[in-house]
Structure 1
Amino acid sequence: MSLEVRNLTKSYGNKIVVDHLSFEMPKPGVYALLGTNGAGKTTSIRMILGMLSRDEGEVLWNNKPLDTATCNVGYLAEERGLYPKYTLMDQLIYFAELRGVDKAEAKKRIHYWSNRLELDEYLYPTKPVRRSMLGGRSGGLNSAPATVPTASKKADQLSKGNQQKVQFLISLISNPELLILDEPLSGLDPVNTDLFKSIIREVISEGKYLIMSSHQMAVVEEFCTDLTILDRSKVVLQGHLNAIKKSYGRVNLFLKTETDASRYIEMSGAQIVSRNEFEYKIKVSGEAQANSLLGALIESKISVVTFDLREPSLHEIFVEKVGAADEG
């Protein structure tokens, strides 16, 4: 299987919102679609899914036009989209049947993902009852209280974070071959962020194709192998993440000393980006400048605790590329 996006273009009047976007996924993995607010990420996703018409371009799945009616696709939208007054279980069964999953199989999958997403108290709630109502005898003071199942909660009874979990479940219920996640971790607390990430890892391990849009660069670095960065509708950077970072070289130096080293850093020509007492984040031109600084510190008998030379983070690359495009 493979996914290929060719020259997607969309305009509203004279304003181009996506300008000839192309990328491909020849094998399973995670592709990141990044960009500033309003850069065209969500519009691109909606064109890929056929939810929005294209002025130009095509999307191919296995060398044929992608048709969500026949291709098993899951989609987690950034916006919440549950029906507030219907029970969650009814909605999940409904969306499963829309994707061709029969009711019995849907119930099995809902049970699995409900447990993984920690939604059981909303999907399988119970209420206490008197044992006499069940026709049984009281077991004494130490007996467990009797409970019976009750109807699942409605969407408007859930927090935004738990509604997001339910929508994630909906995107997974058809066991999709292609999963598209638009800002999947937006608004989640740290515990639920880790929960979502563990499920994303599970999906990746199953050999799925994922497209992820996110403003959280550390998350993108954790999961994605290839990426496109959009700014004002245009592609400003595209390629394999490791190759992109390698092309910059190791220019970020994290230095910790036991005494003040700022004079030696300045003498080396390196730039102090931030400082906390004797801990420094430094921008260097490359390994030669970093090694020259290290030599000067050793020669001057400055005790070095940490000397860590790294490639730039995706966050730094993103800011540089978007800033350069904006200035241009």
Structure 2
Amino acid sequence: MDVAVALNDIHKTFGTHRAVDGLSFEIPRGTVFGLLGRNGAGKSTTIRMIMDIIRPDSGSIEILGRPMDGSVKDRLGYMPEERGLYPKMKVLDMLEFFGSVKGLKPAEARRRAIPWLERLELDEWKDKKVEDLSKGMQQKAQFITTVLNQPEVLILDEPFSGMDPVNQELFRDLLLELNKAGTTLIFSTHVMESAERLCNQIALIDSGRTVLSGSLASIKKKFGSNTVQLEFDGDGDFLESVPGVEKIHRYERFVEINMAEGESPQRLLEAATGRLVVRRFEVMEPTLHNIFIDQVGPGSDGETDAKELAHA
């Protein structure tokens, strides 16, 4: 497997707070990788260590086959959760500046920026000051700064934070387009729906430790499902007494049945076909949200995030 990023036994503490505690996982090249966990799990601290903004206390990180250095950093794109634009600069001037930080000459940075400005409907604003842009426009400008150097690996920390639904959909499409062209995407999020729509590889972390990691398909297969949707003709009241049935949710056209852990849906199917005309019997694939809750619990969004401690 060709690896874009490899973390090996990473530890990081801030004072008495253990933000990352023995974190290890690999990110294959060409994948869309989600670093998942509730607020305070250690996601942002991990992203900052990958980017060499802060250093781990112990352990090793390799990016594109080597430790982080200037030549590697120029092959990366990074969009932090806290957006960092220059409000008094004109949009195109600012993009040229960010391009120069990544080693681009002004003319080349401008050449690359113009198509992105047109694509994101900012071309008429290129000579306006950043502070004149709406929040959504500034989010688009921030994204352009991240991709000007045509990164091999694009790293985004909570990229959908604060975005309206229209921009969320736009950015999902852009990210998938970049991935299709060969860019490895790495993003952190606590929003499981976003991860499920984008990712083919994930690592779920909690309290700075890896809970599970691997391909989304294999993880879903491993966890299976104890939920069945059943559409039928006839009187289904008896279903509540079928061994293994824990709860039934009734909808207009079907029922959703929760089976006890370890129970095979086969017994339910046999009972249903014996007394009903079964129109549909479907064992539901577990959602990433279901797996998240199963592994780390509902949690609390009120926890202190390690990224806040990283600024201390």
Give the TM-score, by structure 1 length: 0.82
* 1:170 corresponds to: 145
Deviation at 1:282, TM superposition (A): 2.5
**Which AA in structure 1 matches 2:190?**
H
**Which AA in structure 2 matches 1:94?**
F
**Which AA in structure 2 matches 1:229?**
L
Distance 1:313 1:300 in 2: 31
Counterparts of 1:238-253 in structure 2 under 5 Å?
238-253=213-228
Runs (4+) off by over 6 Å: none
SS at match of 1:307: strand
SS at match of 2:149: coil
SS at match of 1:235: strand
Say whether residues 1:64 and 2:39 are aligned partners: no
* 1:10 corresponds to: 12
Distance 1:320 1:250 in 2: 11
Count of aligned residue pairs for this structure pair: 297
* 1:86 corresponds to: 89
* 2:167 corresponds to: 192
* 2:306 corresponds to: none
Residues 117, 271 of structure 1: alpha-carbon distance in 2 compared, 3 angstrom cutoff: farther
Deviation at 1:208, TM superposition (A): 1.6
Unaligned runs of 5+ in 2: 301-312
The percent identity for this pair of structures is: 39
Deviation at 1:309, TM superposition (A): 1.2
Distance 2:91 2:285 in 1: 46
Unaligned runs of 5+ in 1: 124-151
* 1:312 corresponds to: 286
Counterparts of 1:242-281 in structure 2 under 5 Å?
242-257=217-232, 261-272=236-247, 274-281=249-256
Contact kept, 8 Å, 1:249 with 1:286, in 2: the verdict is no
Distance 2:137 2:176 in 1: 20
* 1:128 corresponds to: none
Say whether residues 1:212 and 2:215 are aligned partners: no
* 2:122 corresponds to: 119
**Which AA in structure 2 matches 1:120?**
D
Deviation at 1:321, TM superposition (A): 0.5
Say whether residues 1:49 and 2:23 are aligned partners: no
Residues 79, 257 of structure 1: alpha-carbon distance in 2 compared, 3 angstrom cutoff: farther
**Alignment RMSD, CA only?**
2.5
Deviation at 1:50, TM superposition (A): 0.7
Deviation at 1:153, TM superposition (A): 2.4
Residues 168, 325 of structure 1: alpha-carbon distance in 2 compared, 3 angstrom cutoff: closer
Rg larger in structure = 1
Distance 1:199 1:215 in 2: 20
SS at match of 1:65: coil
Say whether residues 1:290 and 2:227 are aligned partners: no
Contact kept, 8 Å, 2:80 with 2:156, in 1: the verdict is yes
1:25-83 Cα offsets, whole Å, 9 max, x none, are 34321221111101110011001101112211222124321224543110111112112
Deviates more, 1:258-267 or 1:201-210: 258-267
Counterparts of 1:91-106 in structure 2 under 5 Å?
91-106=94-109
Deviates more, 1:43-52 or 1:225-234: 225-234
Residues 262, 114 of structure 1: alpha-carbon distance in 2 compared, 3 angstrom cutoff: farther
**Which AA in structure 2 matches 1:60?**
E
Deviation at 1:187, TM superposition (A): 2.5
SS at match of 2:297: helix
Distance 2:34 2:165 in 1: 21
Contact kept, 8 Å, 1:82 with 1:155, in 2: the verdict is yes
**Which AA in structure 1 matches 2:32?**
V
Contact kept, 8 Å, 1:34 with 1:41, in 2: the verdict is yes
